[in-house]
Amino acid sequence: MRPGVVGTVSAGWVHPANHPPKAGHHLSEHPTLSRRKLPTAAGLAAFAIAAVCAAGLASPVPAAQAATVSIATIQGTSVASPLVGSTVTTTGFVTAAYPTGGLGGFFLQSAGSGGTTDPRIHRASDGLFVYLGGAPVTVGIGDYLQVSGVVSEFAGLTELSPPNPGSVIQLDPAGLTPPQPVPTGYPGSDGEREPLEGMIVQPGGDFTVTGLQSSAQFGQIELAAGTVPLAAPTSVGSVGSTAYAATVLLNRARAVWLDDGASTSFTTASGTSKPLPYLSAPVRSAPVRVGSAVTFTAPVVLDYRNGAWRFQPTREVTGANEATTSPVHFSPTRTASPADVGGSIHLGTFNVLNFFPTTGDERTGCTYFTDRSGRPVTVNNSDAPGCGVRGAATRAHFLQQQSKIVSAILALGADIVSLEEIENSAKLGLPRDHALGVLVDALNAADHRSDWRYVPSPAVLPALADEDLIRTGFIYRASVAETVGETSILIGSAPFDNAREPDAQAFRPVYGTDDETFLVVSNHFKSKSGSDATGDNVDAGQGAFNGDRTRQAHALLDFATSVAAAASTDRVFLVGDFNALAHEDPALAIVSAGYADAGAATGRASYSFSGESGSIDHVFASAGAQTILTGADIWNINSVEAPIRQYSAADANVSTFVDPRDPYRSSDHDPLVIGLGLPTHTPPTIPTTPTGATR
């Protein structure tokens, strides 16, 4: 195992940092996908200077004073060079050069190497990174050079560091064959990758985008060898199972970064003025997304930096030059609507990402995440005295958020929607349903049917002090469905002391009969973020508070049984954000009680973090509900999109990525929709008195 590669993986998830912590998810960093890039040029320069001084070098190294060796000899056949600390001289062709972007060097490869190298013979790499420290990179791709310097290992990368520009000498390449790219699939182990470290390769076979969380921070994209993204291990099997262990190993074997040939941090002042790479493909037609197929259209260098394998382009890629320098093509995967789920009524669930009509600038005590000009965008301290809100900092940003959410709900095609993570307006001294009303008004203003309604809060409510800043709630189309009775909220249940209490509402088709009633219970279980290192809440691969979520699942089952009996129906749908993947204890408890996970059959995931995908949002159908279920879809409009397209990243980069007109990245969770096969009814006929008739 190479230095810096973590040997285990946790399937718990945490929320990304582009909005305030909430009842979200926790995933430790992927074992092979380090989020760090190279340190600053100044830091590397200091490292190189120290190494040079230690070797007693202060001027160009005469050939007579340095051993002349091949690059393969410098690389050696193990994870570290056998010549670390030695002063050597070698020759080769420049295959990649980085005069901009901060990498501060170039790749050198032996003449005549590469091509269809037989892996049974090829034991040591013929490529090497030459680090110049603070000196300018003046060489170009194709140059043939003699380089003298000190051999070192920097975070697992074998480097040669010339002490000064005079140690890099241009040579005549006459009669020599330049190196050729090695055609290769992605090697499945460190041992198979090591002989290609630093060499130019032409990746072949299938690659898929598996993560975009670092795309707006470091300009790098997480890839997986194969045709599907990496799966979160507990979406495949329970902790400790063979399937779980196999997924951990498979993820490690398949994971690789697509880098940008730079060490730019796009969150710094200088970084935000540089157009982000790889994301500037047509925003509305074919942007890169998790699940996009990746075709390598040009050679890249197989690079190893800071504990992670990378495909490094041969020159820096930015949003300004990617049309000519990007080595990849991404397939389009966006859809304008979910798949057809059939049925006469469509039921959806959607976590709407801290939808707060009350914005931070209306409160006192709020501080903010800001854009590149320092202007507030989202609240970052909702628990501070006087603040008490999440989400947008200003009215303008809230309207961007609302526009995208309205677009998503309308395109979802659902007639009833369970909403999670919407403002609990009662906590702000407003009517409890204020935020629901704001959303319904926006939906009706955007939709010519204008038949959206919200389900009002019941008369019996939890004590306000026991409620969270966010809540669940229902909206529906009054022309398609009607409520049966009022909402029931689970009150006084100890397992929900640290989470949102579930609420249940019975519906039926408009003008329907009692025997067509079905029950929907909306949920938002305790998050996986934070820590509670006591009892069964200790993270055992399922995220923090797993024990609490499991107890919440059992309390929910009892609540659903009680409310369903009161509504005289066995058709029960448990929906929402359960913060549990399919093979984690809370989800298994619900399935063991006879409920089916309707979204599982879609083969899609509702959430993505740290390069792994899985569903934490579910629609669980009781045995009776399964008889009317006609289809299901997880509509991938959010989890698979780059976070930079979210309203909370407005003006985070000189390039514009937020489009308030479309539904894409309207949240960080994907909505789910199912079809219900129930009768449709026409309005009852009202007798009329004939014209001219008398009593």
**Could you tell me the CATH number of the domain that includes residue 660?**
3.60.10.10
Residues 404 and 459 in one domain: yes
Buried b (16+ CB within 10 A) or exposed e, 547-586: bbbbbbbebbbebbeebbeebebbbbbbbbbbbbbbbbbb
13 pLDDT band, cuts 50/70/90, is very low
Record the tokens describing residue 636, joined without a space.
């991938």
pLDDT of 223 higher than 80: yes
What pLDDT shows up at residue 445? 97
Average pLDDT over residues 615-626: 98
Domain count for the chain:
3
Among all chains, which residue has been given the structure tokens 């993986």? 9
Question: Rounded to whole angstroms, how far apart are CA atoms 75 and 152?
Answer: 10
What is the C-alpha separation between 8 and 29, in angstroms, rounded?
A: 10
pLDDT of residue 387: 97
Q: Which amino acid belongs to residue 547?
A: G
Other beta carbons less than 10 A from residue 498's beta carbon: 17
Q: What 3-state class would DSSP assign to 635?
A: coil
Q: How far is CA 195 from CA 122, 179, 302, 405, 445, in A?
A: 7, 15, 10, 49, 62
Length of the chain, please?
Answer: 695
Question: By residue range, what is the domain housing residue 307?
Answer: 200-330
Does residue 341 fall inside a structural domain? no
* Distance, first Cα to last Cα, the chain: 96
Domain end, chosen from 180, 214, 236, is at: 180
Q: What is the mean pLDDT of residues 530-559?
A: 89
H-only helix segments in 150-241: 190-193
Q: Can you tell me the distance from the alpha carbon of 538 to that of 336, in angstroms, rounded to the nearest whole number?
A: 41
Rounded to whole angstroms, the Cα distance separating 64 from 663 reads 66
| Rounded percentage of the chain residues whose pLDDT exceeds 90 | 82
Residue 432: CB atoms within 10 Å: 20
Q: Is residue 484 part of a domain?
A: yes
Last residue of a domain, one of 330, 364, 397: 330
Does 421 lie in the same domain as 291? no
Q: Are residues 353 and 470 in the same domain?
A: yes
pTM of whole model > 0.85? yes
Boundary residue ending a domain (279, 299, 330):
330
pLDDT band of 152, cuts 50, 70, 90: very high
| CA–CA distance, 326 with 317 (Å, rounded to integer) | 6
Q: Within a domain: residue 546? A: yes
Confidence of residue 442 (pLDDT cuts 50, 70, 90): very high
| Cα separation, 299 vs 96, whole angstroms | 10
Within-domain flag for 685 = no
Q: Are residues 402 and 530 in the same domain?
A: yes
Q: Give CA–CA dist 105/133, Å, rounded.
A: 8
- Best CA proximity match to 501, nearest among 460, 546, 453: 460
Question: What distance in Å separates the CA atoms of residue 569 and residue 567, rounded to the nearest whole number?
Answer: 6
Are 105 and 211 contained in the same domain?
A: no
Cα separation of 292 and 433, whole Å? 40
Predicted local confidence at residue 539, as pLDDT: 77
My answer on whether 354 and 317 are in the same domain is no
> How confident is residue 686, by pLDDT bands cut at 50, 70 and 90?
confident
What CA–CA distance (Å, rounded) separates 657 from 649?
Answer: 8
Residues β-bridged to residue 618: 576
Residue 653 DSSP symbol: S
In angstroms, the CA 488 to CA 154 distance is: 60
Q: Is residue 12 part of a domain?
A: no
Residue 76 forms part of a structural domain: yes
DSSP-assigned beta bridge partners for residue 161: 150
Band (117; pLDDT cuts 50, 70, 90): low
44 phi and psi angles, rounded to 5 deg: -70, -40
Helix/strand/coil for 221: strand
552 and 410 in a common domain: yes
Tokens of 589: 């408890």
Question: Could you tell me where the DSSP H helices lie in 447-545?
Answer: none
**CATH at 70:** 2.40.50.140
pLDDT of residue 20: 32
Same-domain check for residues 564 and 661: yes
- Other C-beta atoms closer than 10 Å to the C-beta of 78 total 10
For tokens 């730079």, name the residue: 262
pLDDT at 273 over 90: yes
pLDDT digit string, tens, across residues 477-531? 999 999 999 999 999 999 999 999 999 999 999 999 999 999 999 999 999 988 7
Residue 138 lies in a domain: yes
Among candidates 357, 261, 268, 344, which has minimal Cα distance to 305?
A: 261
Tell me, yes or no, whether 208 and 167 share the same domain: no
Same domain? 316 vs 366: no
**Which of the residue ranges 41-45, 100-104, 369-373, 619-623 would you say has the lowest mean pLDDT?**
41-45
Residues with Cβ within 8 Å of residue 15, at least 6 apart in sequence: 21, 22, 24, 25, 26, 527, 529, 668
**Do 440 and 447 form a contact (C-beta atoms < 8 A)?**
no
The 3-state DSSP class for residue 411 equals helix
Query: How many alpha carbons lie under 13 Å from residue 130 in its C-beta half-sphere?
Result: 38
> Is 53 a residue whose pLDDT tops 60?
no
Encode burial over 95-120: b for 16+ CB neighbours within 10 A, e otherwise: bbbbbebbbbbbbbbbbebbeebeee
Is pLDDT above 50 for 15?
A: no
Q: Which residue has the tokens 């997880």?
A: 634
Is residue 373 a part of any domain in this protein? yes
Q: How confident is the model at residue 248 (pLDDT cuts 50, 70, 90)?
A: very high
Mean pLDDT of 1-26: 34
Instruction: Read off the pLDDT band of 24 (50, 70, 90).
Output: very low
Q: Are residues 151 and 251 in the same domain?
A: no
Distance CA 238, CA 229 (A): 19
Give, in order, the Cα–Cα distances in Å from 69 to each of 75, 474, 524, 556, 668.
10, 72, 63, 69, 52
Q: Sign (positive/negative) of CA torsion 592, 597, 603, 609? A: negative
**Closest C-alpha among 178, 218, 175, 221 to residue 200:** 178
List CB contacts of 220: < 8 A, sequence separation 6 or more.
Answer: 37, 214, 257, 258, 259, 260, 310
Q: Are residues 497 and 566 in the same domain?
A: yes
Radius of gyration for the chain, computed over Cα atoms and rounded to the nearest angstrom? 29
